[in-house]
Amino acid sequence: MNSDMTQGVSRRSFLRIVGAASAAATSFPAFAAMTPAAAPAGQTARRSRGMQALSADTVVISSNENPLGPAQSALTAICSMGVQGGRYHWDEYVKTIDVFNGEFGLKKDYSALFPGSSGPLDLALMSNLGPDKPLVYGDPSYEQGPRAAEVMKAPKYPVPLTGTYAHDVKAMLKAHPAPGAYYIVNPNNPTGTMTPKEDIVWLVNNKPKGSVVIIDEAYHHFSNDESCIDLVNQDKDVIVMRTFSKIYGMAGLRAGFVVARPDLIERFNNVGGPSQSLASVSITSAAAARASLQDKDLVPLRKKINGDIRTETVEFLTKHGYKVIQGSQGNMFMVDVKRPGKEFQNAMLKENVAVGRTWSAMPNYVRVTVGTKAEMEKFQTAFVKCMDMPAGAANGAAELHMPEFHVPSELYRG
């Protein structure tokens, strides 16, 4: 294969993205908001405040990261690739894309490699949204969907999850006659719960012509269900997002894939696309991603470790009478803290345990990421102690701002 070509985005179209990006930075407000240089002072300040450090002994179970970090196979690949870091090495990306495509039997040009999935998720959303192209999405779910809709001035149609915390595809279809996109997170963030594949297939087959279904499979490796990537192979109007930030433990290293028909990936160019510095994956991350994909024991082993610790933690909480949203197949779950979640989060921080945020649809629940066994033991002790405090007791505690969102969407927050 031509080494000037990444499999998802040809060098020609890639350069078009970059070219369009610089033009769009001046003419297109959404893109201008994505460039750090263009971020108003307040946004920059908020971003750095969000990065405030936690003490070294804090148990951090707030951002759905993987406490195991990158696999040994990935670390070894990074070390051997690092010495070649003086070269651009387009072929490294192509090799990684080939391995990914091989895993899913994908046709050529049906995937593209990015630094993480946040960037391409914004592009997938933004290239299909606008004032006359609304977004239909589940509530509660990952906020990147509605935030991208706001940037594009697209009407937002949140649809409550079902009683089992699945996306309510029938209600989503009824929400608007001609949306630009439906956004489905599976497993869902923050609940970890699944939307059955047959429901998603039903939506894809019954949706209005012209809209796309974006299926965010950031946490899919932790689940027992089948991926929706095969719908892309069937040339459906579907965009599937994958990341190496979760089960592969590469949140800081940054690698992710968009999987879609080539015309849907090409459409990203219409919204400017990220500048080259945002779009290009380092060869070390590309090598780590490839090594992780080739490490066949990795996913089953990590899925089991995470699932066992999640089950143990949820059983502990349930046995002690706390209400947990059941059915998580992700590396997280939601628990009812019977007081405003933010207040509980602050109380837990005083115990050196950073739990996740809350969602407006469930203000008294916090999201908890599954950490190591030792971390979850500390969590349990702190949780019981904080729940035993009367509601309101933590008011006035020093607030610690924790990073909640990912670049580049972080920059959108006005």
Ligand X SMILES: Cc1ncc(COP(=O)(O)O)c(C=O)c1O
State the minimum distance, in angstroms, from the CB of residue 405 to ligand X: 8
Chain residues that interact with ligand X, rule: CB under 6 A: 64, 116-118, 121, 142, 185, 189, 216, 218, 243, 245, 251, 256, 406
Please say which residue, 35 or 117, places its beta carbon nearer to ligand X. Answer: 117
Among residues 176 and 406, whose Cβ is nearest to ligand X?
406
Q: What CA–CA distance (Å, rounded) separates 168 from 401?
A: 33
Q: Would you list the DSSP string of 336-387?
A: E-SS-HHHHHHHHHHTTEEE---BTTBTTEEEEE---HHHHHHHHHHHHHHH
Considering the complex, state which of residue 121 and residue 238 has its C-beta at the smaller distance from ligand X. 121
Query: Between residues 116 and 146, which has the closer beta carbon with respect to ligand X?
Result: 116
Least separation in angstroms between CB 116 and ligand X: 3
* Integer Cα distance of 97 and 78 in angstroms: 17
Q: CB within 8 A of 401, min separation 6: which ones?
A: 49, 50, 52
CA angle 144, 323, 305 (to 5 degrees): 70
Taking the complex as a whole, the smallest distance from the CB of residue 215 to ligand X amounts, in Å, to 10
Cα 372 to chain center, whole Å?
21
**Nearer Cβ to ligand X, position 223 or 243?**
243
Judged by beta carbon, residue 25 or residue 241, the one nearer ligand X is 241
- Residue position matching structure tokens 């991208």: 148
What's the helix, strand, coil split of the chain in %, to 5?
Answer: 45, 15, 45
Q: Cα–Cα distance between 125 and 116 in angstroms, integer?
A: 15
Query: Minimum CB separation from ligand X for residue 114, in Å?
Result: 8
Residue 336's nearest CA partner among 191, 123, 157 is: 191
For residue 123, the minimal CB distance to ligand X (Å) is 12
Other C-beta atoms closer than 10 Å to the C-beta of 392 total: 10
Rounded to the nearest whole angstrom, what is the least distance from the CB of residue 63 to ligand X in the complex? 7
Q: State the DSSP code for 223.
A: S
Please, what is the minimum distance in Å from the beta carbon of residue 407 to ligand X?
A: 8
Q: Which is nearer to ligand X, 121 or 181 (CB)?
A: 121
